[in-house]
Amino acid sequence: MAKQYETVIGLEVHVELAAKTKIFCSCSTEFGGAPNTHTCPVCTGMPGSLPVLNKKVVEYAIAIGLAVNCDIARVCKFDRKNYFYPDNPQNYQISQLYLPIARNGYVEIETGDTKKKVRIHEMHMEEDAGKLIHDEWDDTSLVDYNRSGVPLVEIVSEPDMRSADEVIAYLEKLCTIIQYLGASDCKLQEGSMRADVNLSVREAGTERFGTRTEMKNLNSFKAIARAIEGERERQIELLEAGKAVIQETRRWDDNKEASYNMRSKEDAQDYRYFPEPDLVPVVISDEWIEQIRARQPELRSEKLERYKKEFDIPQYDAKIITGSRHMADIFEKASAICGKPKKVSNWLMVETMRLLKDHGMEPEEISFSPENLAKLVNLTERRMINSSVAKEVFEKIFAENVDPENYVEEHGLKMESDTGALEEVLKKVIADNPKAVEDYHGGKEKALGALVGQTMKAMKGKADPGMVNQKLREML
């Protein structure tokens, strides 16, 4: 019988922080911008320039550290990581090796019905590098330092994950936590979140870890899942063939669904880390930590617990809604205004999700206000509009955040509440459709539907279908 293998995975996750200015200078961190326009002597490594730490970066790092249950260092320091590459203007990166800001944390993940803790070894602050642009035509490389000095945290997990599912669950969990904190938008595709996968395999039941490889260039959850599967198989094949796994860094090519060796352990650079002499140690007081803790928003897991108690909505819906802090905010505000959380939840779960999918949008991109959604709920609850009109109005709200009350008024979409007018129409419909009337009396329930349809059409959709149904039965 073939041997059973277990996959052991640890992650190094880089997260670009939402600070408006860079970590060591006051240049803008805004994405885009013409090359080298968000730069100054500090982030281009000009001789004589000196770094000054951005306090906001430390606050974001503390907030994340607390949210992932880390111990926050009372004194942390920066170190220089020395390596030559043109995207790095000083030829050293300011990072944290010896005294990182946070250590010993964990996050709880859920896969299927099982819950598990993934431990976090440490988290440190560092600066991002610039970007090289290779001009094949001209056979030159150009460098853009706009991203140089953009603040990052690197979150290093323990090797606690055993499958691609667990890795994705861990990343999604980190993402939600950090997005909830407003500390980053965590977009893998745009590079504001980057994950390197350390993976090894071992025979099931053994204690010792196998030799691991590190996989880089993973730009989506799907790529990560594929890379993990691919690397697991590659390592098992090696072991089955009696060969050894070599400790190396590999680059994943998602188009070819294969990975390639970048550098082996032997070529591993000696980064010659040493304490950054241009920065003083960061002293973090208990008061500062408590202030940040007090400002922490309610995180997703806490929100879920609360929704269970406060709102009568299915757990599944609560999970979807709290998946995005923005959507949860809309839900809570709209529910507070109209007092109908279940209705609000329905609008979000059905129509909003459908429209997001149609437009290829993320929940973060929802641009309508909770006030307008609440007004729409009220309009339907008060039977001011019928459900098909409500859907039409909601599309307008979703696209342009229109005020539904004004919109309904302006477009004359209000339901006809004048029973006299309805009766007039019904009389005419009955008179014009003797066949249908006959069928109805002959016991064909379906015929009533045709009559209701005729009536709704004559009323330009503004009648309450329930009311039409009832009146019609009476009159027939």
Partner 1 sequence: MDIASLTAAGLGKKIRAKEISVVEAVRASLDRIDQVEKDVHSFVTIDREGALKRAEDVQKQIDDGRLTGALAGVPVAVKDNICTKGMPTTCSSRILENFHPAFTAEAVRNLERGGAVIIGKTNMDEFAMGSTTETSYFGVTRNPWNLEHVPGGSSGGSCAAVAAEECPCALGSDTGGSIRQPSAFCGVTGIKPTYGTVSRYGLIAYGSSLDQIGPIAKDVTDCAALLEVIASRDPKDSTSIDRSIYVHRQSKGPDSQESFKGGQPAGYDFTSALVNDVTGMRIGIPRDYFGEGLDGEIKEKILAAVRVLEERGAVAEEFDLSLVPYAIPAYYVIASAEASSNLSRFDGVKYGYRTQDYEGLHDMYKRTRSEGFGEEVKRRIMLGSFVLSAGYYDAYYMKALRTKALIKQAFDQAFARYDVIVAPAAPTTALKLGHSLSDPMKMYLGDIYTVSANLAGLPGISIPVGTDSKGLPIGMQIIGDCFAEKKIIRAAYTLEQTRAYERPALAKNASKVQEHGADDRQRKEAVQRREAVQRKEAVQREGGAV
Point out which residues bind partner 1 (CB under 8 A).
41, 44-53, 80, 82, 84, 86, 89-92, 143, 270, 272-274, 277-280
Closest approach of partner 1 to the CB of residue 45, in Å:
5
Q: Is 217 exposed, middle or buried (0-12, 13-18, 19+ CB in 10 A)?
A: middle
DSSP-based three-state secondary structure for 133: strand
C-alpha neighbours within 13 Å on the C-beta side of residue 58: 22
How far is it, in rounded angstroms, from Cα 269 to Cα 156?
Answer: 20
Closest approach of partner 1 to the CB of residue 53, in Å:
7
- Between CA 49 and CA 92, with CA 39 as vertex, the angle to 5 degrees is 55
Tokens of 255: 């188009």
- Give strand pairing partners of 9: 161, 199
How far is it, in rounded angstroms, from Cα 142 to Cα 51?
Answer: 24
* Nearer residue to partner 1 within complex by CB, 260 or 274: 274
- Give strand pairing partners of 144: 131
* Nearer residue to partner 1 within complex by CB, 50 or 399: 50
Closest approach of partner 1 to the CB of residue 138, in Å:
16
* Nearer residue to partner 1 within complex by CB, 91 or 291: 91
* Nearer residue to partner 1 within complex by CB, 42 or 393: 42
- Between CA 111 and CA 118, with CA 113 as vertex, the angle to 5 degrees is 40
- Give strand pairing partners of 410: none
- Give strand pairing partners of 123: 102, 155
Nearest to 190 by CA among 19, 359, 15, 10: 15
Closest approach of partner 1 to the CB of residue 279, in Å:
5
Closest approach of partner 1 to the CB of residue 89, in Å:
6
Can you give the length of the chain in residues?
Answer: 476
284, 62 Cβ separation under 8 angstroms:
yes
* Nearer residue to partner 1 within complex by CB, 47 or 242: 47
Closest approach of partner 1 to the CB of residue 34, in Å:
18
166, 173 Cβ separation under 8 angstroms:
no
* Nearer residue to partner 1 within complex by CB, 49 or 346: 49
Tokens 């070599």 found at = 246
Other Cβ atoms within 10 Å of 181 Cβ, number = 20
* Nearer residue to partner 1 within complex by CB, 90 or 372: 90
* Nearer residue to partner 1 within complex by CB, 93 or 179: 93
Closest approach of partner 1 to the CB of residue 282, in Å:
10
Closest approach of partner 1 to the CB of residue 48, in Å:
4
